[in-house]
Structure 1
């Protein structure tokens, strides 16, 4: 099946519903036979995601910069853990190793990752599916603002259309799988 990169928060102080969403996502990826590609961390949603995948027998590939390994937040239980020299090279390697991208709730790091992937797609540097899970309306204000960018011609409608928005994990994975078929 596919190698699906999931972007999400690594904060240690998140509401349980977000950790549950990450666990569910990892488990569903594994049940469908996909490999999880993640930022290689063992904390927050990132750790819950990898644990969820492993709990359902899935393969995990983590990509993490040495600076975060040094902080002892690396997912040492990953089936494969690739260590990079920087955050920028981490993103590049995650993009190269992935067939599709799924974004869960997160903060600045998550936004940085999804915008990097989205920007490179708008430049036709890849055609990999990108799906954002808007659980409980988490991303609704951002999506509304992005619609305003398109309305004002700062973003082409075709670029806006490259990102699929789903309400839940099964719908997100179905959107990815239909694009990869």
Structure 2
């Protein structure tokens, strides 16, 4: 049986709502329980650190991919299963996409949105066809969902965005989309 892997894109900060970190940890626990390998950005801060530590605490496997530029910024994780240090952000994203079967996007900042939209674009262009899940913890992505709907309604998308991006409110629902 082939190893199952989920890429998780999220903030290197924890955000202002404690639910963000609680959901990151819950997602990590669920992944470890189901023997799903985490592929993530390789940091040990914020939501990235929370999800990775939760997977590791549950006896799961974690693969980090971090660009040289962010080694100090995101405090590379020293206690994960495998860490790839790559030359730049583009290489990081491509490797993460290549290593995963599905992606889950948790709350985050500009980098998280960059990763989300690149995956959506690659799906639209049929570079890959992997499920992308938006974990909408505490309504964090409500305004983004509204904007995506406006882009669709105003004729700027080639297909209904809901065919490419699934939105869930809980880690359990996000994981269930994998099966």
Q: TM-score, normalised by structure 1?
A: 0.93
Judging changes above 3 Å, is the alpha-carbon distance between structure 1 residues 72 and 118 closer, same or farther for their aligned structure 2 residues?
closer
**CA root-mean-square deviation:** 1.4
In structure 2, what is the equivalent of residue 106 of structure 1? 108
Give unmatched runs, 5+ long, in structure 1.
none
Q: How many Å apart are 1:16 and its aligned residue?
A: 2.5
Q: How does 1:62-101 map to 2 (within 5 A)?
A: 62-71=64-73, 73-101=75-103
Q: How does 1:77-156 map to 2 (within 5 A)?
A: 77-156=79-158
Q: TM-score, normalised by structure 2?
A: 0.94
Q: Is the 8 A contact 2:149 2:161 kept in 1?
A: no
Q: Is the 8 A contact 2:19 2:138 kept in 1?
A: no
Q: How many Å apart are 1:122 and its aligned residue?
A: 0.6
In structure 2, C-alpha distance between the alignment counterparts of 1:145 and 1:158, rounded to whole Å: 13
Q: Which runs of 4+ in 1 moved over 3 A?
A: 12-15, 157-160
Q: Is the 8 A contact 1:150 1:160 kept in 2?
A: no
Instruction: Name whichever structure is richer in helix by fraction.
Output: 1
Q: How many Å apart are 1:156 and its aligned residue?
A: 2.8
Give unmatched runs, 5+ long, in structure 2.
none
In structure 2, what is the equivalent of residue 22 of structure 1? 24
Structure with the greater relative contact order (CA < 8 A, sep ≥ 6): 1 or 2? Answer: 2
In structure 1, C-alpha distance between the alignment counterparts of 2:90 and 2:65, rounded to whole Å: 11
Tell me whether 161-170 or 70-79 shows the greater mean CA deviation. Answer: 70-79
Q: How many Å apart are 1:78 and its aligned residue?
A: 1.2
3-state SS of paired residue (2:156): coil
In structure 2, what is the equivalent of residue 167 of structure 1? 169
Q: How many Å apart are 1:72 and its aligned residue?
A: 6.5
